[in-house]
Amino acid sequence: MEEPFRVGLAIPLQGPGGIFGPSCEAVAELAAAEVNAAGGVLGRELVFEVVDAGAPLPEIRRTVHDLLERRRLDAVTGWHISSVREALAPVLRGRAPYVYTSLYEGGPIPTGVYTSGEVPALQIAPALTWMRDHAAVHRWALVGANYVWPRRTATRIRDYARTAGIEVVHEAFVSYGCRDFTTTLVDIARSDADGVLMLLVGQDAVMFNRQFAEAGLDTVMPRFTPLMEENMLLATGAEGTADLYVAAAYFNSLATASALDFMSAYVHRHGPDAPALNNAAESCYEGVLALVSLTAAAGSTRTADIAAANAETPVSYEGPRGTVTLSSGTLDQGRQAVHLARADGYDFDVLTRL
């Protein structure tokens, strides 16, 4: 009997992103069941090795390295922050294909790494134009965590601003895991910004939103973020999300045929009390679809074969987000439709496709 195809599911089980963990695991179970029912990965059963991507970086690297050494890892996918991606890419290089499913900051990606998440050019830039035209936001205060994704994304936002007739008039970078935004909020209130752009993750964004509303700033200026999902809405509370806009490729309220089919399959498998479907969790489903498509196109699970096949003809597949096209080593990967939504209590009202 052929050995299973073992996929490292790297998802945060602790820290600011730990709020996504249960949903990510539940969605991954659905993905594995569907893949195995259809014949597996080139005939091999897909099984997961869960890796806590919320642990300290040296521990994550060591865990993945040990799994590779013990031949318990054939590929890696999952939602996690860019710092984890940059730590894992060298460990996996040439040894296992790696599909990074989170939104990311754009820029070159090492060979063997594939991204299926949103990028600023397709997500943030058109959203800022929409906010300028429909919400009259011309001056932004940017608040981000002090690590790779917010820092590099902020650079791209400044570039977009120069060509879009908008300004970033204030920037603040806080520690990853920040819980007290008092000083940041005072500075925002004193700035001449008429909107706040959030580059915060998970529980950090929850705390910011609560304190933003408690300070009364939600009645003065709208917020926009490329990272806000249903678990974060629930944790924040409806009173903390007034006038909050989000751009993403997936919302659980998205009324497309593929998204509705995905929702139905998820509820059928896990029941109505399953962890909330959200963008981070759904991205793990995308990661599995991407791995299956990459190996099928190459006719192989070997890293070099997959890279060669995808370089010749970038892989596309159909999933809950619609059509997603992968490539490797390019500036902007993961071509897909992105939507703009407004928080409405504990759900999102999808306004338009960007």
The 10s digit of each residue's pLDDT in 291-319 is: 999 999 999 999 999 988 888 788 889 99
Contact 116, 125 (CB under 8 A): no
Predicted local confidence at residue 236, as pLDDT:
94
What is the third-level CATH fold of 120-250+340-353? Rossmann fold (3.40.50)
Predicted local confidence at residue 286, as pLDDT:
95
Parts of the chain with a pLDDT under 50: 331
Residue whose tokens read 């060669």: 308
Predicted local confidence at residue 329, as pLDDT:
56
User: 179 — phi, psi (to 5°)?
Assistant: -120, -15
Contact 110, 93 (CB under 8 A): yes
Residue whose tokens read 């059928």: 268
Cβ-proximal residues to 243 (8 Å cutoff; 6+ apart), any chain: 218, 221, 222, 223, 342
Q: For the chain, state the CA radius of gyration.
A: 20
Dist CA 172 CA 263 (whole Å):
37
Dist CA 98 CA 106 (whole Å):
16
β-bridge mates for residue 349, sequence order: 342
Q: Is the pTM of this model over 0.75?
A: yes
Dist CA 247 CA 150 (whole Å):
15
Predicted local confidence at residue 120, as pLDDT:
93
Predicted local confidence at residue 323, as pLDDT:
92
What is the third-level CATH fold of 5-118+255-336? Rossmann fold (3.40.50)
Q: What is the pLDDT of residues 207-233, one digit of tens each?
A: 999 999 999 999 999 999 999 999 999
Give the amino acid at 279.
N
Predicted local confidence at residue 325, as pLDDT:
87
Predicted local confidence at residue 291, as pLDDT:
96
Residue ranges, comma separated, of all CATH 3.40.50.2300 domains in the chain are 5-118+255-336, 120-250+340-353
Predicted local confidence at residue 112, as pLDDT:
87
